[in-house]
Structure 1
């Protein structure tokens, strides 16, 4: 829809981390180093036909067209993957949890969304994986959906929004979900929206800062609640390079020393328990902070396609390839190897 920004699209549907020292080189400096055999894109959105039809029926997106994240096609996706040497994308469809407030809508809608994603994987098993949706506001139903997604549909992990109706992931409400995901040794991909009730900044889109704040808030919630320590077999991926988390660790440690927060050692432990994707985008500005905080083995390549358009994906991928803060080992680990280690089902389908 002409003029439909992300803010307007989300509103209509009801729906920087900066390094301490910025490299004194242009963004395009360095030599491009495409990883052998192709990248794995873990922050990769899709809206297959069945899901699209359901979303139109619910009034979440208009019939035909719509914002870039909703106007998805397999051809455009495969073209963008080819242009950027992306071997496989792990598809997800972030839908505000409040859309599934009604239990009947939650039961039918989540099933349709997950079946659509599974169909995409079946049609191109070496090109796609998927993170399954669950009805976060109905934990008992979510447990059934987790079982169906893994046992029947072959999901590679679960998508959890950073918050649901104002509750962040450390809330006790979500403990049954984490207990079951821990039992399965599952991967959780988190995705933000703007924090509930936040005041808009005129002229500034929500995805620029507010989404990053929401990711940071849920990470701090998980740390404060001790969720990562109780459920050690769950792997949690923070979108957009962890929001502001890697940049504010020193401040968080002060919270632990002086204001009753978690012990600084627990904060440092949690920092290296999370995984982070590159879809901030990370390169080149956030690279030094992120790698100094967590190391290259906790970072995964991500594009945010198609919320990021094809030209923007190309710019961000080029910058990643030429990032002066990455050596060859780090570049390959982030581009491919870390994802294959984290997602064994995908690794089996596409071959290592």
Structure 2
């Protein structure tokens, strides 16, 4: 029987309000837009209307970004009190239908503790709402300990909503579909890095938007985390019972929902409409969610039962992964036995680096060993490997030193490849930011050295859109007809905390937004160090293809044709099928 969402009563944990007292305060602070978007319309009457339209039995109101603290502790304390008393008054008028997450003036810890006690003990609100960073302080901040002690005593439910990290302030749409999601994941991992997950086991967390990108990036994050805490994987599996995620902005059955359900389990996913911000799309996401392959009992859990358990149970709620939920097929994966991302460090390059950088340490670098690589290929059943360079320290040098090292590498890897071209291929290394060098080096690599492809080393985050791409370079890569490996310059450290670690993903996302789709379509790009994000975020990020970055208006005609006629969303289709070799 076809699923009908109207048949299920829903408890909505992701339900923002924008009362006049909040909007007036923001405007007085000079915030006439929120990250480039107009303030959403909201009223108590509108909220009740939305609830009735889609069968929401109960909402839990919250305040979204940019939050409540703007530098003055005393003012923020008074402002939080006004908002919490306002939300309490709305709840009293609709006691069976409206709850609320209180605001607190963090990073003012004393004020936050006082307001937590008042909101939960006196006003009897349902929990606390926090942004992913509080004036750029993440939830693992050492100064927040006493606040968590009070929250832990009360078995508090803390609702986490993302806000923009400092680095993302200039990225418009990429901020919402990428940096917001990363920030939710960053803050919950920051909480763990502090050891707070062990110290405060009675706090339950409700994470917006499926926990950001945690389900996709977890394996990469946890491996990096083990260097700090060898027991972190076991600790996370235990603490996971305290984490719950909503389905707002992830209601896509082709990747995001299956991955989220399989990671958190169907006892830990709850419903979120993302109103009042999602006024134009909440019905669309409901329809998307209705197409997901869940049974009656699972839909019932997500819409209501799981949320009731979060608030009513003092104990941890067992989670059990749902391993049988499969994403919609993207088409057959090509069984290509070529390893595109394999690093090679010729001895000549090591010596060259020592000559231009006396502080360069090669102790942990393994020089190229052909016999070892061929043995590995045989065991791993690869027919061929494509060699590339990885030296994060290289990019700290001056341009002339960088280009000289790259030239040495390109000539050396050509010699290595030529000794066994059946088994080995090689990417020529070029600095994507140094356009004049790249244009010349591409010609040298392909026309003189006859290499098999080009590896571009990119640094994307921190640049304005207009600084990211040079049409001459993109055109040369496209016309070359060879595969192009996209490699971040900052490829070490922990993803998300090292914002440039995932630059190859940002490369593709920004290309979509800057209307460089023809270059994407006609160039054989291969993305590295994506940590599983590209296909996980394909649907939400793909929408950027339809937005004019100069006018901030949608290319509605093409979007309508792609969605309703061809039923192939251009940006998402590319991201689902682009080559990835992490």
Same fold by TM-score, threshold 0.5 exceeded?
yes
What does residue 191 of structure 1 align with? Answer: 161
1:276 to 245, 252, 256: 245
1:327 to 285, 295, 298: 295
Deviation sequence 1:186-241 (CA, Å, 0-9, x none): 1000111111233634x634211111011011011112122122101100111110
Give, in whole Å, the separation in 2 of the partners of 1:215 and 1:261: 23
Give, in whole Å, the separation in 2 of the partners of 1:149 and 1:199: 31
Q: Which moved more, 1:269-278 or 1:149-158?
A: 269-278
Contact 1:61–1:70 (CA under 8 A) maintained in structure 2: no
Report the CA distance between 1:258 and its aligned residue.
4.8
Give, in whole Å, the separation in 2 of the partners of 1:164 and 1:261: 29
Report the CA distance between 1:53 and its aligned residue.
4.1
What does residue 123 of structure 2 align with? Answer: 153
Describe the shift of the 1:114–1:259 C-alpha distance in structure 2 as closer, same or farther (beyond 3 A): closer
SS in 2 for 1:340: helix
What does residue 241 of structure 1 align with? Answer: 210
What does residue 306 of structure 1 align with? Answer: 276
Q: Which moved more, 1:109-118 or 1:42-51?
A: 42-51
1:73 aligns with 2:43: yes
Q: Which moved more, 1:175-184 or 1:120-129?
A: 120-129
Contact 2:58–2:99 (CA under 8 A) maintained in structure 1: yes
Deviation sequence 1:271-312 (CA, Å, 0-9, x none): 443110111233423121111111011111001101111x41
Alignment of 1:254-265 (within 5 A): 254-258=223-227, 263-265=232-234
1:138 aligns with 2:85: no
Contact 1:48–1:117 (CA under 8 A) maintained in structure 2: no
Q: Which runs of 5+ in 1 are unaligned?
A: 1-29, 346-352
Report the CA distance between 1:100 and its aligned residue.
3.5
1:182 aligns with 2:152: yes
Please tell me the root mean square deviation across aligned C-alpha atoms, in Å.
2.4
Report the CA distance between 1:69 and its aligned residue.
5.0
Give, in whole Å, the separation in 1 of the partners of 2:248 and 2:164: 17
Count residues in correspondence.
310
1:112 to 76, 82, 87: 82
What does residue 91 of structure 2 align with? Answer: 121
Describe the shift of the 1:240–1:154 C-alpha distance in structure 2 as closer, same or farther (beyond 3 A): same
What does residue 342 of structure 1 align with? Answer: 310
Contact 2:77–2:104 (CA under 8 A) maintained in structure 1: no
What does residue 209 of structure 1 align with? Answer: 178
Report the CA distance between 1:98 and its aligned residue.
7.1
What does residue 42 of structure 1 align with? Answer: 13
What does residue 11 of structure 1 align with? Answer: none
What does residue 17 of structure 1 align with? Answer: none
SS in 1 for 2:40: coil
SS in 2 for 1:219: helix
Contact 2:243–2:268 (CA under 8 A) maintained in structure 1: yes
Q: Which moved more, 1:144-153 or 1:71-80?
A: 71-80
Report the CA distance between 1:31 and its aligned residue.
2.1
Q: Which runs of 5+ in 2 are unaligned?
A: 314-582
SS in 2 for 1:305: coil
Report the CA distance between 1:54 and its aligned residue.
3.8
Describe the shift of the 1:48–1:188 C-alpha distance in structure 2 as closer, same or farther (beyond 3 A): same
Give, in whole Å, the separation in 2 of the partners of 1:301 and 1:222: 24
Structure ranking higher on relative contact order (CA contacts 8 Å, 6+ apart) = 1
Give, in whole Å, the separation in 2 of the partners of 1:119 and 1:58: 25
SS in 1 for 2:69: helix
Describe the shift of the 1:155–1:221 C-alpha distance in structure 2 as closer, same or farther (beyond 3 A): same
Contact 2:250–2:257 (CA under 8 A) maintained in structure 1: no
Contact 1:92–1:130 (CA under 8 A) maintained in structure 2: yes
Describe the shift of the 1:260–1:219 C-alpha distance in structure 2 as closer, same or farther (beyond 3 A): same
1:225 to 174, 179, 194: 194
Report the CA distance between 1:56 and its aligned residue.
4.1
